[in-house]
Structure 1
Amino acid sequence: MHKSDRRSLLFLVSLFVIIAALTGFFADTESSNDTPDIPNDSTLHKQSSQHKTDAADVYAVPKRKVETFCFDPNTADSTTLLRLGLQSWQVRNIYKFRARGGVYQCKEDFAYVYGLTAKDYKRLAPYIRISSDYLPASSLAEVRRGRQHSYYNRTTSIHYSNEQNIKE
C-alpha cells in the first residue's frame, strides 16, 4: 500500500469510529427524554431521606460487643484483643512492641501501651494474667534464696578474712 492509501484508510476508520460514538451518545439522550419523570414533593422528600440513610449506613461503624475475660498480653492474638474492646491501631501497637522483643512482665506494664486510655486500663487490669514464663527470673523463689545465701556467705567470708588478717 502506498502512503496515500494508508492515509485514506486511516481517515475512513477514524470517521467510522466518530460516527458510531456520536450515534450511541445521542441514542442514550433521546431515550431518557422520552419519559420525563418529574417527582412531586413527597417523592423527592422520600428519595432524599433514603439517600441520607444509605450514606449513613456506608460510613457507620458497627458496634462491637465488648467482652471481658482473662488474657495474657504476651500471647493474646488480635481477635482476642479486639474482643476486649481495643481498637485495631492499639492492637497494632501491642504487636509492634512484642515484635521488638518487648515483654509484659507485670500487669502494670500493659498500662504503657501507646494509645491505651486510663479508662481502658482500669477496665482490663483485673483480667490481665501474666504467664510465669514471662516473669523476670529474679522473681523465682530459688533465685531469691540463693541470692540471700550468697550475700550472707560473701559478708561472712569477708568478715572472717578481716579477722584472720588482724590476728596475723
Structure 2
Amino acid sequence: MWKDFLYYTKTERQGIIVLVVLILGVYAVPKLFAFFTRAEDTGYCTENEKSDQEYNDFLSSLRETKPHNRSGHSFPSFPQQEVKLAVFDPNTADSTTFLSLGLPSWMIKNILHYRHKQGRFRHPEDLRKIYGLTKEQYQTLRPYIQITEDFSSKDKDTVRLLTMQSIPRDTLVKYHPGTVISLNSADTTELKKIPGIGSSIARMIVNYRERLGGFCRIEQLQEIHLKAEKLRPWFSIDTSQTHRVNLNKSGMERMMRHPYINYYQAKVIIEYRKKKGILKSLKQLSLYEEFTPADLERLEPYICYN
C-alpha cells in the first residue's frame, strides 16, 4: 500500500524535479550573486589600491629624485645654511661656502665631482656645465664668481706663490636689491658691491665721472657702453656735485679733457674769446657749425662763465 503513496506518474515526477530545481535555485542564486559581487568588488578595490600606490610612488619619485653624479665616489650630505651671497672661487670653495650661496647638497656633490674629474674652472661660464644648475641660479651667482690665477703652470716660482697666497682673498659682500648709492660720490670699492660691477667696470665709471665732472643723468652710463636701465635702481644722482668748465678762463687743453668738447669746438671758443670777448651764453656758439643743438644741450650742465 505504501507504494501507492510513492508512486507518481511521469508528469508528476517531472513537476517534482522542476519544483526541486526552483527551490534550489531560490537558495543558490543569492549566494552566487553575493560571491561574484564580492569578487568584482575585491578586484576593483585591488586595482584601485594598485593605481593609488603607483600614483603615490610617482609623486614620491618626483620629490626625491634629483640630478646626481654618476661616479663611484660617495659624498656626505650637507645641512642647509642661511643664504649669504659673497665672492667665491669655484676652484677652491668648500661645501660650506657653496651651501651659504644657496646651492643644494646634491648640486655641491656635482661641483666637487666636476673638480675631481675635469680639473679647474677656468672661466665663470664653466660653472654652467654643472649638471642641474639652472640659468637663474647661474645668473644669480655670476657677479660673485672670482677665479684666481692658476699656479699649476711650470714656470711658477716659490717666492711668488707664497706672496700671492699671503694676500687675503676678496670677500666683498654685494649689496642686496633696494640699496641705493650716490653715483657721483661712490668710490670703486662701493661700486663693486653692486651685483654685476667688477673692478674694471668700477674703474671705468670713476674715470669717466672725473672726465665729465660728475653725472647728471643715469643715461650717461651708456656712453661707456653700460646698461643704464639695469643699473638705474642702484644709483641716485646729486647734480650739485658736478664740476663745471669755465669757458672764459679755461685753456684749450683743459676744455678738450671734457668728453663733450672736441678739438674743433675748443678752438672755436678760443677764437670767439679773442675776437668778440667773453661768453655769456651757449647761444653765442649756436651759429657755428661745430656745435649742434644736441652738443649744446648736453654741454649746458658742465659749463660756467665766471
Larger radius of gyration: 2
Give the alignment's TM-score, normalised by structure 2: 0.23
Which has the larger helix fraction? 1
Give the alignment's TM-score, normalised by structure 1: 0.41
Q: Of the two structures, which has the highest relative contact order with CA contacts closer than 8 Å and spacing of 6 or more?
A: 1
